Amino acid sequence: MAKPLYWYLAQKERNFDLVRSEVEKLLSSIITEASNRAKDIIAKSENVLKEAHEAVSKARQALITSRDKASLKSNTICEQAEAKLKLAKDKVASGDYVAFLDAKPIAEEAQALADNALNTANGEREQYIKRRVEKVKNAWKRVPGAFIGWPLLFAIIGAIGGCTIGIFVPGKGTTDAGANAGSLIGIVIGFIFGIYNIQKELN
C-alpha cells in the first residue's frame, strides 16, 4: 500500500517464478483487500448520501412553503458528494490496484461531504420552518388593519372625496350620494389594500 509499484513488479519478477502460485495468491489477496476496503467506504457513503438527499428534499419543501427566494446550500454539497462518489465508483470499476487505493480516500471525502449536506439540510429545514411561522404571525398582526383600519381610513377619504364631488354636481342629495358612494368605494379599496398587505407578508 505504501509503494503500490511493487504490486505490479511482483507480477513480472523472475526471482518469484519458483513460488509463482504463492505470489499470485498473495497479489490476489492484496487486491481483493484493497477492493473491499474501497467498496465498504463507497457503501457507507451511498447510505449517508441517501439520507442527505431525503433531508435536502424536506428542506426544499420547507423552502417552498416559506416562499423565500433562496437556494439550498445543502443541495450544492450533495452534488459535490455525488461527483466524488461517482469518481470513486469509476476507479473501483477499473479493476486497477492503484485505482482501488485511490478510491478509498475519495469515497471518504464523498462521505464527509454527504454528512455535511445532511447536517446543512436539517439546519436549512428548521430555518425555513421558523421563517414560515414568523410570516404567518406577522400576517395575523395585519388582520385588524386589513379588515378595520384600512377600510375605515379609505372610507373616510372616499367620503370626503365623494362629498367634494357632490358639491359641484347639480341636484338634490348629490353631496350625500357622493359621500355614500365614496365611502363604499373607499371600504372596498381598503379591504383590497389590507388583503394585499397580508399576502405580501406571507410572500
Range 55-84 average pLDDT: 91
What confidence tens digit (pLDDT) does each residue in 72-83 have? 999 999 999 999
Check residues 91 and 190 and name the one with the higher pLDDT: 91
What confidence tens digit (pLDDT) does each residue in 124-181 have? 999 988 887 887 776 667 767 766 776 667 777 776 777 676 666 666 566 666 667 7
Sequence length of the chain is: 203
Please tell me the pTM assigned to this model: 0.70
Long-range contacts of 95-100 (CB under 8 A, 24+ apart): 97/4, 97/7, 97/8, 97/30, 97/31, 97/34, 98/4, 100/31, 100/34, 100/35, 100/37, 100/38
Of the candidates 41, 34, 31, 118, the residue with the CA atom closest to the CA atom of residue 84: 41
Name the residue ranges covered by the structural domains of the chain: 5-131, 143-202
Of the candidates 196, 116, 182, the residue with the CA atom closest to the CA atom of residue 153: 182
Angle (CA) 85-35-92 rounded to 5° is: 40
* Grid cell of 130 as nine digits: 421558523
> Are 115 and 48 spatial neighbours (Cβ–Cβ below 8 Å)?
yes
Residue located via cell numbers 487486491: 31
> Are 183 and 158 spatial neighbours (Cβ–Cβ below 8 Å)?
yes
What confidence tens digit (pLDDT) does each residue in 26-54 have? 999 999 999 999 999 999 999 999 999 99
CA distances from 121 to 50, 51, 62, 100, 130 (A): 12, 10, 10, 31, 14
